[in-house]
Structure 1
Amino acid sequence: MNATERTPADLLSAALVADPARPLVTFYDDATGERVELSVATFANWVAKTANYLQGDLAAEPGDRLALLLPAHWQSAVWLLACSAVGVVAEVGGDPAAADLVVSGPDTLDAARGCSGERVALALRPMGGRFPQPPAGFADYAVEVPGQGDRFAPFAPVDPEAVALVVGGERLTGAGIGARALADARAAGMPEAPRVLSGLPYATWQGLSYGLYAPLATGGSVVLCRHLDQLGADGAAARETSEQVTVKAPPAVS
């Protein structure tokens, strides 16, 4: 990471230049059997569309607070990077009533209705599918985003020293996210361009670091697993082999 690769959005831009075809996020949901693999280019395209939606249709500005009520999921990763690109503060598990806008999964819609601003809902269905019936009071992400532009440019410069992420009571700047993720990778002994397997939730910094930011900061990729405990020890070992995993996230602390 150099002086021009500071925020998560900067890191993604650098990865896109370096090798757009390589895998970046491989997502499994072991409750449904879903597997999705996104290259750097495909992931960046989702981020650009989401950032355009966030900045344009939702009128979000740098410093606005977005309550992110989503599990560890490839679409959650997209939203985190889109927030970085726009300069919106992503508050993971934040209070919708105190936020300017909210992004919710299907299991947190009641809580999300506490937000008086814009509300977006994700069905979290395979292949980014839409809700069969859109929830009242919410825009359906899968309906709104596909038609957005494939290239993104912020209306206002994003300050890398401004708070960009709030998780588990911690507040991190855009530059601080990249620096801390890189330090985490070094402390964990991650090799160059690691292939990281993580079943950790996104509700903690550790989950976000192993499950997104550290692989991004080191030119690697993540195998992000939801409901990994349902796979069993033999299945987990087989996945490590098939996905050529070089680093495993530690177990979640209860």
Structure 2
Amino acid sequence: MNATDHTPADLLRSALAADPARPLVTFYDDATGERVELSVATFANWVAKTANLLQGDLAAAPGDRLALLLPAHWQTAVWLLACSSVGVVAEVGGDPAAADLVVSGPDTLEAARACSGERVALALRPLGGRFPQPPEGFTDYAVEVPGQGDRFAPYAPVDPHAPALTVAGLELTAAELVERARADAAGRGLGPGSRMLSGLPYDTWEGLSYGLYAPLATGGSVVLCRHLDRLDEGRLAERRTSERVTATAP
């Protein structure tokens, strides 16, 4: 990645320029058997569409706060980078009542109704599927995102020194986030081509860093596993081998 990258969106642009075809996020849900692999180009396309939805249809602006009520999932990673692209503060596990808008999974819809702003719901079904019955009062992400544009340009430049992320009581600017991710990557020996397997939830900085930001910051990729505790040691070892894992968190 480039020394001039100061936001997560910058990191993604550099990854796209360097090698758009390489894997970036490989997601497993060991409760359902789902496996999804997204190249840099495919992931960046999802991010662009989501950022266009966020900035356009949802009228989000830099500095707005988005309560992100989603588990560790490839679509959560997309939303994190979309927020960075627009300049919206992603509040992981944030209070919907205090947020400008909320993005919720299927298990947190009631809590999300406390948000007086725009509400978006994700079914988190395989292949990004929609809800069989759209939840009342919510925009169904899977219905709205496919028609969004494949390229994104923010209405205003994103300030790398403005707040970008809050998680578990920690608030980071975009520049601080990138710096921490690079430090975490160096501490685990991550570099270009590294494959980090993470079964950590996204409700701590460590989970977000090893499950997305640190691999992105160094030209690596992540094997993001939900419900990893359902695997025995033998099957976990098989996954490490088949996915060419070079580092594991925790």
> Is TM (by shorter chain) over 0.5?
yes
Question: Does the CA-based 8 Å contact 2:112-2:119 persist in structure 1?
Answer: yes
Q: Map of 1:101-120 to 2, 5 A cutoff?
A: 101-120=101-120
User: In the aligned structure 1, how far is the partner of 2:229 from the partner of 2:94?
Assistant: 26
User: In the aligned structure 2, how far is the partner of 1:177 from the partner of 1:219?
Assistant: 16
User: In the aligned structure 1, how far is the partner of 2:214 from the partner of 2:23?
Assistant: 15
Structure 1 ranges of 4+ moved more than 4 A: none
For residue 64 of structure 1, what is the amino acid of its counterpart? Answer: D
Give the structure 1 partner of residue 212 of structure 2. Answer: 212
By how many angstroms is 1:192 displaced? 3.7
Structure 1 alignment gaps of length 5 or more: none
SS at match of 1:133: coil
Q: Does 1:89 align with 2:89?
A: yes
Identity of paired residues, percent? Answer: 80
For residue 98 of structure 1, what is the amino acid of its counterpart? Answer: A
For residue 239 of structure 2, what is the amino acid of its counterpart? Answer: R
Which string of whole-angstrom CA distances, capped at 9 and with x for unpartnered residues, describes residues 79-105 of structure 1? 000000000000000000000000000
User: In the aligned structure 2, how far is the partner of 1:178 from the partner of 1:69?
Assistant: 22
Give the structure 2 partner of residue 234 of structure 1. Answer: 234
For residue 141 of structure 1, what is the amino acid of its counterpart? Answer: Y
User: In the aligned structure 2, how far is the partner of 1:247 from the partner of 1:201?
Assistant: 17
Q: Does 1:5 align with 2:5?
A: yes
- Alignment root-mean-square deviation, CA: 0.8
SS at match of 2:147: coil
For residue 122 of structure 2, what is the amino acid of its counterpart? Answer: L
Q: TM-score, normalised by structure 1?
A: 0.97
Q: TM-score, normalised by structure 2?
A: 0.99
SS at match of 2:146: coil
Q: Map of 1:1-254 to 2, 5 A cutoff?
A: 1-250=1-250
Question: Does the CA-based 8 Å contact 2:8-2:174 persist in structure 1?
Answer: yes
- Aligned pair count reads 250
By how many angstroms is 1:233 displaced? 1.0
For residue 49 of structure 1, what is the amino acid of its counterpart? Answer: K
By how many angstroms is 1:191 displaced? 4.2
Structure 2 alignment gaps of length 5 or more: none
